Structure 1
Amino acid sequence: MALEHPSAPTRTSPGLHPGTPRSGVIHVNRRHASHFTVVGNHLLQHRGLSATAIGVAGYIQSLPEGAPIGIRALVARFPEGEMRISAALRELERHGYLERRRERLDTGRVVTRTYSYNQPNHPTPGAPPPPPPAREPDPEPGPADPRGAAEGADPGPAPVPAGEPAPVPAGEPAPPPQAPVSEAVPRPLHPGAAGLLAGLRLHDPRLLLSERDVQRLAPDVSAWLDRGADPAAVGLTLSANLPERMRSPASVLAYRLKALLPPRLPAPPAPTPVSRPDPFQTCDGCDRAFRAPHPGRCRDCPPPGSRAAA
């Protein structure tokens, strides 16, 4: 019976090339023909994101357009709780991979839309511009990474000191100097705009606005009054036929002020001069009344000093 040799070399696994590393991950990749999503390494290897945030971002990028990605939908999909999912979404927003906006539809309803960016620093044409990613603290200086030269990493342009113009690349004309932008002077508000908004609660108790809402809507009301609209008509237009359920009365008023803005009144025509008849005068010769611009004699009496008058 032969003795066992535990120190004998193990047999090489089939299918591995001679340069396979002895430790670490070994990729066994097959080309995807369908049902796959392209995710950038800047997301999967992000140093400032947690594993939960990276996983949630990859899952969101794999969803079709219009799929729900709210906290409730993600909590129902993953075993993580609501707090971890909420923290992951905040991380993605902070680094520019997600953006939640409150937008107004054509019907006047305000909705929250979530935009997912697969490349935060390179916006897609036709999509809303992404928010600037949160600035990470500069790493402490350390030894140079030898992998940078091997991977051909581009260090990027050198920073320009503050107060100096950016260098112009060779072969490109220098941009023309920009004229200083003058700050827009705010237009004075109509004196009755704020009072009109505050008095809307007399038409409907639900239109009790806060001081902040009054200050925000006062310029739009002032535009109505500057165009010659009657204050009573403005209040009736804003408070009539309101929906039964209003989550935000200020939003309803803001939509009506924008959508129902009346046109400017045409300039009044020039006044036509009215020709009035000459006033009545008493004739100095026969005491009869006649019309004339000045006192004197009527046309039937001879002028004074003539033989007929004598």
Structure 2
Amino acid sequence: MILPNALTQHATLSLQARGLAAYLLSLPDGTDISIRALAARLPAGEIAISRALRELENAGYLTRQRVRGPHNRISTVTTMRDVPAADLRVSPEAPAAAPEASPAPAESTPEPAHPSEPEDEPAAPCAPKPTRPAAAPSLDAVTAGTRVLLDVAATEPRLTVGATALPALAALVDQALAVVEPAEICRALTANLPGEIRSAAALIRHRLAEHLPVWTAAATVRALHASTSAAPRPRIEIATSPAAARWTECSDCARPLRTSTPDGLCGDCRAVCAA
């Protein structure tokens, strides 16, 4: 294929439009040249390709025609040529037999009398595929730590964390739940908040890291105290010495006596009573 100098050296066409024209003329008939298809094959975005197609259309090298196909489906037929359409219709410098237009990659249809208005929509019909909705999170994936964080966000909306930081924070809350009640965690996270919270995730992470060692130590002390209280205490019994059981006192003067006496008196008290 030989490209005419008028196209490759066109004064008003950008280099991208000239390169796209050369690429389109090299494709076989019937090739999909919609903006989306071209963007998938070329190292250019849809916006740049759409702008280059409009330049070629304004210069007369490209025409688009809306046609109604089977089942009343409307499609766009694109024709690309190496000579502008205006030069094909009337050109004072052209020879008597105008050169036959070389069809571009498009359906074989009669050339329209006038180029259609530029369109920003893709040239070939391409029904968009329905986007599959994102799957809802499974209830089994919501841990107890996640529920606590959701309760905290409901109590204080400024402590709402994003989905990216939620799993890591929920894991920390799960560790805290092993040693403390959920209400205690909520109080620790929502008490004495600053006036401005720049990052809810950072604040929650800091408070959990600060309180978790304290909660763990307190739980260890409580468990140790509970195990000590539950263990049976040894019973201590003091046996009475046989020697101590033989000692007695005088019932009158309370003098200690080695052995008990029939009247319970010591010798002095008995003598006094006898006198």
TM-score, normalization by structure 1:
0.29
More helix per residue: 1 or 2?
2
The structure having more radius of gyration, on CA atoms, is 2
Instruction: Give the structure, 1 or 2, with the largest relative contact order (CA under 8 Å, sep 6 or more).
Output: 2
